[in-house]
Chain A
Amino acid sequence: MQIFLPIADIPVNVFLVLAMGLAVGFISGMFGVGGGFLMTPLLIFIGVQPAVAVASVTSHVAASSFSGAIAYWRRRAIDVTLALTLLAGGIVGSAGGVALFTWLRALDQLDLMIGLSYVTLLGVVGVLMVGESARAIIRSRLGKPAELRRPGSHVWFHGLPLKLRFKRSKVYVSAIPVLAIGFIIGFLGAVMGIGGGFLLVPMLIYLMRVPTATVIGTSMVLTFLTMVSATVLHATTNHLVDAVLALILMIGGVIGAQFGAHAGQRIRGEWLRLLLGLLVLAVGMRFAFQLVVRPDDLYSIRVIGGGL
Chain B
Amino acid sequence: MTQFLVVKSIYKNFGKLAALSDISFSVDQGELVGLIGPNGAGKTTLFNVITGFYRATSGQVIFKDKDISQAYPNELAEMGMVRTFQIPRPFKELTVHDNVAVGTLFNPERMHKTHLSPEEFVEKILEGVRLFPHKDQLAGNLGYGNLKLLEVGRAQGPLPELLLLDEPFAGLTISEIQSISEILRGLAAKGLTLVIVEHKLKELMKLVKRVIVLHYGKKIADGNPEDISRNEQVLKAYLGRRWSQTNA
A binds B: no
